[in-house]
Chains A and B, each alone.
Chain A
Amino acid sequence: MIARDFREALQLGEILRDEFIVDAHAHMDTWYNFHIPEQGTPASMVHAMDLVGIDVTIAAPHICIGPDYRQGNRDVCAAAQQYPGRIVPFVTINPNYPVEEIRAEIEHWETHGGIAGFKFHPACHLADACHANYYPVFEYCQERELPILSHNWTGAPVNGKDTLHGLAEAFPRVTFIVGHAASGWPVIDLNCAIARLYPNVMLDTTGSGLTFDALPEMARRIGAERIIWGTDNPFIDPRPGLGRVLMARISDDEKRLILGLNAQRVFKL
Chain B
Amino acid sequence: MDDRGGGKLRFFDCNMRLGRAGVVRPEHILDAAGLLGEMDYAGLDSALVYHAFSQEWDAGGGNAKLLEEIGDCGRFYPCFVPLPHATHEMPSLAEFGADLKRRHGAARLYPKAHSYSLQDWCAGEMLDVLEALRLPVLIELAQTDWDELAGVLAAHPRLPVIVLATSYRVNRYLYPLWEKFDNLYLETATFQIMRGIEDVCRRFGPQRLVFGTGLPLLDAGGPLAQVTYAELPVAHKRMIAGETLAELLGLEHWGGAA
Contacts and interface: CB of A to CB of B under 8 A. Distances in A.
B218 interface: yes
Contacts of A11: 8-9, 43, 224, 228
Interface stretch (B178-186, B192-200, B244-252): B192-200
Given A35-B172, A208-B168, 8 more contacts: A11-B228, A13-B230, A33-B169, A37-B195, A51-B229, A237-B197, A243-B228, A247-B220
Given A185-B25, A240-B192, A34 B218 contact: no
Given A2-B1, A35-B171, A212-B219, A52 B229 contact: yes
Given A13-B5, A243-B225, A237 B196 contact: yes
Contacts of A127: none
Given A51-B229, A212-B27, A234-B194, A37 B199 contact: yes
Interface string B185-229: 000011011111111000000000000001111111111111011
Contacts of B27: 212-213, 217
Contacts of A244: 219, 221-222, 225
Contacts, number: 146
A48 B196 CA distance: 11
Contact of B4 (A10, A13, A44): A13
B194 A36 contact: yes
Interface string A210-239: 111111010000000000000001111111
A234 to B, nearest CB: 4
B194 A37 contact: yes
Interface of A: 2, 10-15, 33-38, 40, 44-45, 47-48, 51-52, 185, 208-215, 217, 233-249
A238 B168 CA distance: 12
B194 A44 contact: yes
Contacts of B172: 34-35
Interface of B: 1-2, 4-5, 7-9, 25, 27-28, 41-43, 167-172, 175, 189-190, 192-199, 214-226, 228-231
A13 B216 contact: no
A134 B215 CA distance: 41
A10 B221 contact: yes
B224 A212 contact: no
A47 B231 CA distance: 10
B194 A240 contact: no
- Interface SS of chain A: helix, strand, loop or mixed? helix
B219 A211 contact: yes
Nearest to A242: B225
B222 A239 contact: yes
B2 A13 contact: yes
Contacts of A185: 25
B221 A14 contact: no
B218 A212 contact: yes
B228 A10 contact: yes
A236 B2 contact: no
22 contacts: A10-B221, A12-B1, A13-B4, A13-B228, A15-B2, A34-B169, A36-B193, A45-B194, A51-B229, A52-B225, A210-B214, A211-B217, A212-B215, A234-B195, A236-B168, A237-B226, A243-B222, A243-B223, A244-B225, A247-B42, A247-B220, A247-B222
Most B CB contacts (10 A, CB to CB) among A213, A233, A242 go to A213
Nearest to B222: A240
Most A CB contacts (10 A, CB to CB) among B43, B170, B175, B221 go to B221
A235 B220 contact: no
A52 B231 CA distance: 10
A239 B171 contact: no
B219 A213 contact: yes
A239 B219 contact: no
A267 B56 CA distance: 47
A264 to B, nearest CB: 22
A248 B1 CA distance: 21
Contacts of B217: 211-212
Contacts of B169: 33-34
